[in-house]
């Protein structure tokens, strides 16, 4: 999954103003950032076939893409937030990080480990139906952006969010229909990191004119 991962970040931002959108967007991508670091380090692995569906299969991903480690990452976010006296913020970031595995479960073939053994891998395999997978990702982003836009005041904030959402949808369509997939990890990793950096920056830009919160302040006390 590519831009569909950002839908949980949009939804979380719509229900709480405690964590900025850019941080939630980065949280949803953290697993893949780690994955490509580990792939280039030879710790994890992926099989690439530009002409296949899916074009990428995780062949070794227990440290980045297992459900067991997802629970660890969520706990780390929650614990880090608690240490800073902001456990609710930590929980929101943790949910963003954990959403990655659940989103991948829908589209991946069985290559997502449940335990720390690759043999425990699961996946529902929607990627085998490319048009359905593309429609799902586009729909998730569009729906999440529409929901979040209702929390923003009318004006520049909504327009910028619409621009970012449109760019994400075009990115998904280009990735699936136009741009050929890289055929090596050495090419795919920097491309992926560039996308993750650009989307995080775009999320920051989308909220930059807001200054304060885009919605009524959360009434619950911090701490």
Q: How is 34-89 classified by DSSP, letter by letter?
A: HHHHHHHTTSSEEEE-TTSSSSEEEEE-HHHH-HHHHHHHHHHHHHHHHHTT-HHH
Q: How far is CA 100 from each of CA 7, 31, 52, rounded to the nearest angstrom?
A: 10, 7, 23
Q: Which positions ≥6 away from 53 have C-beta within 8 Å? A: 127, 128, 129, 130
Query: Taking residues 50-61, what's their average pLDDT?
Result: 83
Looking at residue 222, what is its pLDDT? 55
Give the model confidence (pLDDT) of 9-54 as tens digits. Answer: 999 999 999 999 999 999 999 999 999 999 999 999 998 877 777 7
152 or 81: whose pLDDT is higher?
A: 81
> How confident is residue 221, by pLDDT bands cut at 50, 70 and 90?
low
Query: Taking residues 150-171, what's their average pLDDT?
Result: 91
Element (H, E) at 120: none
Looking at residue 216, what is its pLDDT? 47
Given a cut of 90, whether residue 209 has pLDDT beyond it is: no
- C-alpha angle 28-147-19 in degrees, rounded to nearest 5: 45
- C-alpha angle 167-169-173 in degrees, rounded to nearest 5: 115
* Cα distance between residue 179 and residue 90, in whole Å: 36
Q: Hey, where are the domains in the chain?
A: 3-208
Query: Taking a C-beta distance cutoff of 8 angstroms, is the pair 85, 18 a contact?
Result: no
Neighbour count for residue 165 (Cβ, 10 Å): 24
């Amino acid at each position: 999954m590519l831009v569909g991962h950002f839908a949980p970040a949009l939804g979380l931002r719509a229900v709480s103003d405690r964590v900025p959108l850019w941080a939630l967007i980065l949280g949803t991508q953290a697993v893949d950032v780690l994955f490509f670091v580990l792939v280039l380090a030879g710790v994890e692995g992926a099989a690439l076939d530009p002409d296949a569906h899916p074009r990428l299969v995780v062949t070794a991903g227990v440290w980045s893409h297992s459900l067991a480690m997802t629970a660890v990452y969520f706990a780390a976010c929650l614990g880090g937030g608690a240490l800073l006296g902001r456990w609710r913020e930590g929980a929101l970031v943790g949910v963003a990080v954990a959403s990655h595995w659940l989103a991948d479960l829908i589209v991946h073939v069985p290559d997502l480990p449940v335990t720390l053994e690759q043999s425990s891998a699961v996946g529902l395999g929607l990627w085998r139906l490319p048009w359905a997978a593309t429609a799902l990702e586009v729909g998730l982003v569009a729906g999440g952006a529409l929901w979040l836009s209702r929390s923003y005041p009318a004006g520049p904030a909504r327009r910028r969010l619409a621009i970012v959402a449109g760019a994400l949808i075009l990115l998904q369509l280009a990735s699936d229909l136009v741009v050929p997939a890289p055929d090596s990890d050495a090419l795919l990793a920097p491309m992926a990191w560039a996308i993750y950096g650009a989307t995080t920056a775009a999320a920051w830009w989308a909220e930059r004119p807001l200054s304060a919160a885009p919605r009524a302040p959360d009434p619950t006390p911090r701490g």
